[in-house]
Structure 1
Amino acid sequence: MQDIMMLCNSMRNYMIGPFSDLVSSLGSNPSVPPVTCIVLDGSMTFTTSPAASKFGIPLMHLFTVHGCALVATKQLRALGENGLAPLTAESQLMNGYGNTPLNWIPGMKNMRLRDMPHFIQITGSNDTLFNFLVDIGNKTSDVTVTIVHTFEALEPDVLHALSSMIPRVYTVGPLHLMLNRIAQEKSFASKHIECNLLEEHNERLQWLDLKKPKSVIYVNLGSIASVTHQQSVEFAMGLADSDQCFLWVLRPDAVNGDMATLPREFVEETRERGFLSGWCPQERVLNHPSIRGFLMHCGWNSTIESLSAGVPMLCRPCFGDQQTNCKYICDDWGVGLEMDGNVKRDEVERLARELMEGEVGKKMSTKAWSGRRWQKKQLVKMGHLP
């Protein structure tokens, strides 16, 4: 949907001037209060840090990834210095080299090279995105406060390690539960908070109302990630062969920028138990009683929403921090199963059946639901939820 490389270059090379002008104009406008703090997304430090220094304004980093991904990002330079990154081809992670242990990362246990953010999978040391992320990791000390979208009990070792690297680290999450409280209180601000990049279609909830409890797999690969046409076919036929009910969100550009065209036999076979949908209110879907599992891309927003809803996951990470998220979902938290990146219908069928009917799926569901109850209890105790 957007050119990530172009965005990185723009933030780094062209936004400092206009942003500084904005802060200056606000400071000279008597009709508005002066700027006393800048809250920035972690990737915007190249734009905001010079302005903050120029005007003497404190900075607050807000990282919308979780602590594990932030710590992993801070290790990218060390990977390069140790000759482990950048990689010349993604295939390097599919053999024994991808299992190279990384036992020196603070707070992160049993990490392998393949568990690191995908930014190591590039073709040269001058790659824009790799160096952009390395520099972001180096600039985490340039701020007054760092806020991370996670909660303490989810990754205590990582947050302890992160606090030794960056001063004044605070957690605030899950954010969507905080927003729900704002909406319940009917505050003025809640009317202006929108959390989706795409228009939602609520009729999917009516279809879910007709399904039995814990009988549906929700499939959504996020608002940006895409797959090839062949991968979409493998997903489709695997779901068809699994004999499970499913709600599948298919963006118009989900298949490498093109409209998805699925096999006729898939459509005919799943007509009574499948629903192909445009964008939907994901949080409400995940909390619907008919949902048993979530086939997803391991984006952090989707991950934390699924954890909050007590829904186990089938994980097919695509890019960014998603591989790191996948490692924690499957290995550390025990609430997910990892799917091979190549996507084969036999594996989709097998994992869908295991999630919905197998013993491993039952254990994951129990653990996920227990985590949901504990999380809600702690948020109420802390006064974040009524």
Structure 2
Amino acid sequence: MRFGIKAAEDLGIPEVQFWTASACSFIGYLHYRELIRRGIFPFKNDDYLTDGTLDKPVDWICGMSNVKFRDLPSFLRTTDPNDIMFDFMGEEAQSCLKASSIIFNAFDEFETEALEAVISKFNFPNIYTIGPLQLLARHIVSKSQVNSLNSSLWKPDSKVFEWLDQRAPNSVVYVNYGSVTTMTDHHFREFAWGLANSRQQFLWIVRPDVVQGGESARIFDTLWMEFYDGNYLCWCACHLLAFLC
């Protein structure tokens, strides 16, 4: 992140950036400024969600062929010219080019086009690929202290896996908003009732802060009492899970 580069400059030492997402996402963020220059961002109104705009091809991004607007990092999907995540991610990607090297969570054969674009178009030859990181976990010694490290601050509840094991294959709807998505109270309730009215078993991951204002847990508890009997709530891998029994 940018503060690391500034600290390295002040200390007079080399600084290496680690981009944990894909190289394609990095290319997409690097072109956020171009979206502004071309007048594409911000969208004028919410019609872009339904009028086919997101399905228009984008043929001017080096390193990403055969893509549409919907394939670009989704923070561009807003009508707010001051959207904080659009600005933040675009500038974070640009700042990486000031580092001495960049490490990507990718491997050359999988993202050749994007990696070559970073080298050629952005004149940044010092890139290294070490991914996918998930495969590196198998090299950790079983009794190593590294096994105690976890990116989650919540205590997992493994009962969710017991519940899933009792369900038939392809019978559970899985819903996950990711780590940064937020929504209004109204949209949260609409989503909840949509799941409830589907009459399908579902596994729904709800962060405590997914509702703007941090009221997810309170609203969810209220709604759940209206849905069905025999429900269950638990914490698992940093997320609130709810599923129909």
Q: Is residue 2:69 matched to residue 1:113?
A: yes
Give the helix-richer structure, 1 or 2: 1
Query: Are 1:176 and 2:134 matched, yes or no?
Result: yes
Deviation at 1:130, TM superposition (A): 4.2
Post-superposition CA distance 1:200-236 (Å, at most 9, x none): 2222222223223443333332344333444444444
Q: CA deviation at 1:197?
A: 3.8
Question: For the residues of structure 2 that align with 1:213 and 1:96, how far apart are their CA atoms?
Answer: 34
Distance 1:185 1:59, change over 3 A: same
CA RMSD of aligned residues (A): 3.1
Task: Indicate conservation of the 8 Å contact 2:154/2:237, yes or no.
Answer: no
Q: Residues of 1 paired with 2:177 and 2:36: CA distance?
A: 30
Q: Is residue 2:207 matched to residue 1:254?
A: no
What amino acid is the match of 1:188?
Answer: Q
Gaps of 5+ in 1: 1-43, 286-386
Residues 194/83 of structure 1: CA separation in 2 closer, same or farther (3 Å cut): same
The structure with the largest strand share of the pair is 2
Task: Look up the match of 2:227.
Answer: 266
The answer to whether 1:123 aligns with 2:84 is: no
* SS at 2:58 equivalent: coil
Displacement after TM superposition at 1:146 (Å): 0.9
Which structure has more RCO (C-alpha within 8 Å, separation ≥ 6)?
A: 2
Shift of 1:113: 3.2
Q: Is the 8 A contact 1:100 1:113 kept in 2?
A: yes
- The unaligned stretches of length 5 or more in structure 2 are none
Change (3 A) 1:227 1:138: closer
Residue identity in the other structure for 2:130: V
Does residue 207 in structure 1 map to residue 163 in structure 2?
yes
Aligned counterpart, 1:189 = 146
1:271-330 CA distance string (max 9 Å, x none): 4xxx65333149xx9xxxxxxxxxxxxxxxxxxxxxxxxxxxxxxxxxxxxxxxxxxxxx
Partner amino acid, structure 2, of 1:73: Y
Query: C-alpha offsets along residues 126-173 of structure 1, whole Å, 9 cap, x if unaligned?
Result: 665544444333333222221122334443322332333332222233
The number of residue pairs the alignment matches comes to: 231
Q: Is residue 63 of structure 1 aligned with residue 24 of structure 2?
A: no
Match of 1:87 among 24, 28, 43: 43
Q: Distance in 1 between matches of 2:182 and 2:83?
A: 22
1:180-208 Cα distance to aligned partner (Å, 9 max, x none): 542x53223332x2121433222222222
- Kept in 1, the 8 Å contact 2:176–2:205? The answer is yes
